[in-house]
Structure 1
């Protein structure tokens, strides 16, 4: 009996001699998946939702479309659009009855995280969330070394205030390692930040 893939290619059974190379290729593709931080968090949130752990979604970006071209009846191409308002943070939702709100940022720098990656309106938003008793944090990824950290918003506000008052314009990796929480990458969920939330808060 012949089997075919969905694209029409014929399935050919592999021999035992090439099994080791297949395993090696799988390992390499897992360690270098090319996933962005957003991809990984979306995948993680999907896992939380499907397993009834938490309900957390990426916030839609408020965009006003002003010019659309229709080259085909079945397709539309947006030619011009603008942001209706400044976005706040990337994600929000609920976990065990508590409101969760967080931002996700990544950098290619090896030894520091530039504060210019954040905007003043985001800082004000996070401060307001904390003021109302919400759980607020940022997930930081050093993409060059594949390390991910959860930094609580109150710590970020401290570093932001330091910059505003004339201090350094970044957070050093050493400061992040000491003042935040390392999130080891795993298969599923990919970035298990809820485990850190359970450690930090009493529900």
Structure 2
């Protein structure tokens, strides 16, 4: 496959080309209205409760500069600011591997690069370089579809941004190079099942 603007061909990281592309079950539609982040937090809690993995949302460091005490037993933060830019949304451990990923939702048929920051991508590169697993979970809200996209195919499109050729990732690219994440009753965003598939495929190739 040749990408626009003379991009190089990259390996297709999809696991199963016959995988379903849409959530078409009744249960899948029942989760509409809930944010992707909230669904992942609930999924992570299920993974933790069932002892499958330990993965949490990262807190963003905040510096408090002004606090009011209207009551002795209560404090109200009046002014605060972020100490430094956050990296990715979630990280943790699964089967001895460091897991680190960013979750994004979009109402468009593209994922705008303005929603992704350089320091996040650089952090994800370091995770991969040190043997961790880094990826994006991307939800197209109008289509009610959620995809798992590894860092490697993402980078080829991301690098075109700095050549001035791209401002977003097309839906079609994510469908081709990503893997649809199944919706389950308890694990609403069951991304660990996708990680298992990816790791199994990589072991077979090695």
- Normalising by structure 2, we get a TM-score of 0.80
- Residue 87 of structure 1: how far off its partner (Å): 0.5
1:35-50 alignment, distance < 5 Å: 35-50=34-49
Instruction: Provide the residue aligned with 1:80 in structure 2.
Output: 79
CA distance in 1, matches of 2:184, 2:140: 16
User: Higher mean Cα deviation, 70-79 or 136-145?
Assistant: 70-79
Cα deviation, residue 191, structure 1: 0.5
Say what the alpha-carbon RMSD is for the aligned residues.
Answer: 1.8
In 1, the alpha carbon distance for the partners of 2:71 and 2:146 equals 43
Q: Which has the larger radius of gyration?
A: 1
Call closer, same or farther: CA 1:166–1:33 in 2, change over 3 Å. closer
Alignment of 1:1-203 (within 5 A): 31=30, 33-109=32-108, 111-202=109-200
Tell me the distance in 2 between the aligned counterparts of 1:71 and 1:128.
46
Give unmatched runs, 5+ long, in structure 2: 1-25
The residue number in structure 1 matching 2:3 is none
Given the superposition, is the C-alpha separation of residues 108 and 120 from structure 1 closer, same or farther in structure 2, using an over 3 Å criterion? same
SS at match of 1:100: strand
Mean Cα displacement is larger for which, 179-188 or 83-92? 179-188
Partner of 1:20: none
For residues 153 and 65 of structure 1, the distance between their equivalents in structure 2, rounded to whole angstroms, comes to 34
Distance 2:97 2:161 in 1: 31
3-state secondary structure, aligned to 2:194: helix
TM norm structure 1:
0.81
- Provide the residue aligned with 1:15 in structure 2: none
Instruction: Output the CA distance in 2 between the equivalents of 1:191 and 1:32.
Output: 10
TM-superposed deviation, 1:32: 5.1
Q: For residue 17 of structure 2, what is the aligned residue in structure 1?
A: none
Q: Describe the SS at the equivalent of 1:103.
A: strand
| Structure 1 runs not aligned, ≥5 long | 1-26
Tell whether the 8 Å contact from 1:49 to 1:56 is kept in structure 2 after alignment: yes
Q: Distance in 1 between matches of 2:70 and 2:153?
A: 50
Q: For residue 67 of structure 2, give the secondary structure of its aligned residue in structure 1.
A: strand
